[in-house]
Amino acid sequence: MKKVIALCLAVCLALGCAACLSGCGGEKTTLYVYNWGQYIAEGDDDSLDVIAAFEEKYPDIHVEYSTFDSNEIMYSKLSNGGITVDVIFPSDYMVGRMRQEGMLMELNFDNIPNYQYIDDSFKNMAYDPENKYSVPYTWGTVGIIYNSKFVDEADVTGWELLWNEKYADKILMFDNSRDAFGIAQYLLGFDVNTTDEAQLRECAAKLMEQKPVVQQYVMDQIFDSMENEEAWIAPYYAGDYLTMVEENPDLKFYRPAHQGFNIFVDAMCIPTCCKEKEAAELFINFLCDPEISGQNMDYLGYSVPASASKAYMDPEVTEDPVAYPSADMLEKATSFNFLPEETARVMESLFMEARNS
Amino acid sequence: MKKNKTGFLSIPYLIWMTAFTLIPLCVVAYYALTDPATGVFSLRNVRELSLYMPVLWRSIGYSLVSALLCLVLGYPVAYYIAHCGHTAQKFLYMLVMLPMCMSFLLRTLAWVGLLQDTGIINNILAAIGLPRLRMIRTPGAVVLGMVYNYLPYMILPLYATIVKIDGRLIEAAEDLGCNGVQVFARVVLPLSVPGILSGVTMVFVPAVSTFYISQKLGGTDTVLIGDVIERQFKQGSNPNLGAALSLLLMILVFVCTGIMNRFGGSSEEGSVMV
């Protein structure tokens, strides 16, 4: 019995010390950053560790970094409430939705002087017309990534490649309703921002038709599967293709310009559950610093909305047509707008049906 | 009267159960029976459940197959351990427990590396000139994942029951002229029924609600009820429908446990431990 008591005391003592040690760091502000997975340079492959650089510049701020897989996951986590998040990175249509639902705080641009570097073409976008709530982080396009070792170039004719039975079980598909419906809409020639339920049902039928050839519905798992050739065809974001091709040079990227494709902006916003607004604005400002943003984007492969940053980037990256398509190509791109809640709900439940049919 | 004196000992547990099981259950029921948009009472979610019945039947089917496979694989192991020497028993018991010390997620992910088309097994097959096998993303892979992960939950209760069987009963049966097979079929097996029921329940219940195994090892047509529930909450599509599905699953589990208890109720250690 004595031994047990001694052991308990020892454990208490150890815990006490640990608690003291972790609490002895002074009064640091903790900043909760909630970003997409693989969406900031973290110091691997000789890149800049952005968060470490920020913490070095502002030693009183400690960054708690966590990631999400899709806009919808981030949205549901925030709307369920009960958490503190200071900076989020939603895409355009999600900025619109959260803005309309009052989930975002107005930014104080006096604290974000680096906003001046953002190109005018990325200011006052449709999702935030007065530019009060968001600062663009990256932009990019969606296309098809395919493995040229296994996929015949003659089959790469458009979005229908994702329905090609020849490659059954080697095709991956988006695991979020908006991107998945977008592809069906481009293929069927519909408007990607439609609220027409009949059209959405047709898209769902098209997606259901695709299911037998789909290997899996995934998001960031696409990296592994495409790199190690477990899958050969997947729709994904251009910036991530540039990361994947470094691991597997047989991968190619294709944008079906004749059918249309998605162009998106991912922005930085402060949600209403933020507790450290000023620190959050410092963080946003830091990420807009041309030198930091240049090095960050160099690693990410996504396109930068501030031309000033390009001076700090590898010219090979800034001249790559995958990341920076020609003006002609960009003309064929459409962006996703914010959909009314009822439409978003119908789309999600149709996607569930198609996926689980 | 004796009971009342010790009754207060269960108070911490009662508080725990109320705070973390009973109240959350009521919340789940509340969500299941309200409309997602307006928050008023509605049976809309319950009606929508019919859409997911095929998924539910599939989950039940896979879990039952897994539970039976675990029984077939686990019984001989438990029987063997129970008849080893004291030290060997302790050691083997620890070996059965050992995999549970490592994260269940990691162990499942390791199977992906083994089974996938470009995985270790297929690469070995290809290297020695054999054709590659389609293993991952099949119902078999999902069942394999379940059996692999939940086998210890079958072996442990079986072992606990078998080890307590009175050796004198077996001797008596032998003295009265039973051969080995008869001793097993008429004495050992009936006496291990409580363990079997426990084991089957303990494998079936987590298997029927799992989502990770089917996401990693399954394909697009092995979606289980756990996947659907997870998605309803995580993707924010319709948490109310998710709650309704959870409620349905819980009722199912209660019914199963109830049936098991009834079957095992007559024997000495009848109650199924869950």
In a domain, B98, yes or no: yes
Region B31-56 average pLDDT: 86
CB contact under 8 A, B137 and A176: no
Output phi, psi for A95, to 5 deg. Answer: -60, -45
Looking at CA atoms only, how far is residue B48 from chain A in angstroms? 11
Instruction: Write the DSSP symbol of residue B84.
Output: S
Q: Enter the CATH code of domain A141-263+335-356.
A: 3.40.190.10
Inform me whether the C-beta atom of residue A163 falls under 8 Å from chain B C-beta atoms. Answer: no
* Long-range residue pairs from A221-226, CB within 8 A, at least 24 positions apart, any chain: A222/A145, A222/A172, A223/A38, A225/A172, A226/A145, A226/A147, A226/A172, A226/A251
pTM of the model: 0.86
Inform me whether the C-beta atom of residue B132 falls under 8 Å from chain A C-beta atoms. Answer: no
In a domain, B96, yes or no: yes
Looking at CA atoms only, how far is residue A219 from chain B in angstroms? 12
Q: Which tens digits make up the pLDDT trace of A175-187? A: 999 999 999 999 9
Domain boundaries, position B113: 54-264
Region B249-254 average pLDDT: 90
In a domain, B255, yes or no: yes
Inform me whether the C-beta atom of residue B52 falls under 8 Å from chain A C-beta atoms. Answer: yes
Inform me whether the C-beta atom of residue B105 falls under 8 Å from chain A C-beta atoms. Answer: no
Residue B234: its pLDDT value, please?
83
All structural domains of chain A with their residue ranges: 27-139+264-324, 141-263+335-356
Helix A177-188 and helix A71-80: axis angle, to 10°?
Answer: 140
- Does position A32 have pLDDT exceeding 70, yes or no? yes
Largest pairwise CA distance in chain A: 81
CB contact under 8 A, B117 and A216: no
CB contact under 8 A, A348 and B55: no
Closest CB from B118, B223, B235 relative to A72: B235
Looking at CA atoms only, how far is residue B219 from chain A in angstroms? 6
**Mean pLDDT value across chain A:** 91
Sequence-distant (6+) residues with CB within 8 A of A2 are: none
Percent of chain B with pLDDT over 70: 94
Task: Give the pLDDT band (50/70/90) at residue B273.
Answer: very low
Domain at B243, CATH number? 1.10.3720.10
Within its chain, how far is the Cα of B10 from the centroid? Answer: 27
Nearest 5°: CA angle at B235, between B230 and B239? Answer: 65
Using DSSP's 3-state secondary structure scheme, residue B182 falls into helix
For tokens 């200011």, what's the residue? A123
CA A131, CA A89: separation in Å to the nearest integer? 15
In a domain, B218, yes or no: yes
Q: How many domains does chain B have?
A: 1
What is A27-139+264-324's CATH superfamily? Periplasmic binding protein-like II (3.40.190.10)
Q: Which residues of A touch B51 (CB under 8 A)?
A: 353
CB contact under 8 A, A216 and B234: no
In a domain, B153, yes or no: yes
In a domain, B3, yes or no: no
Inform me whether the C-beta atom of residue A227 falls under 8 Å from chain B C-beta atoms. Answer: no
In a domain, B19, yes or no: no
Q: Which tens digits make up the pLDDT trace of B124-181? A: 999 999 998 999 999 999 999 999 999 999 999 999 999 999 989 999 999 999 998 9
- Does position A16 have pLDDT exceeding 60, yes or no? no
- Does position A114 have pLDDT exceeding 70, yes or no? yes
Q: Choose the weakest-confidence range: A17-31, A108-122, A138-152, A221-235.
A: A17-31
Q: Contact, A294 vs A304, CB < 8 A?
A: yes
Q: Which amino acid is at A176?
A: N
Inform me whether the C-beta atom of residue B137 falls under 8 Å from chain A C-beta atoms. Answer: yes
Region A230-259 average pLDDT: 95
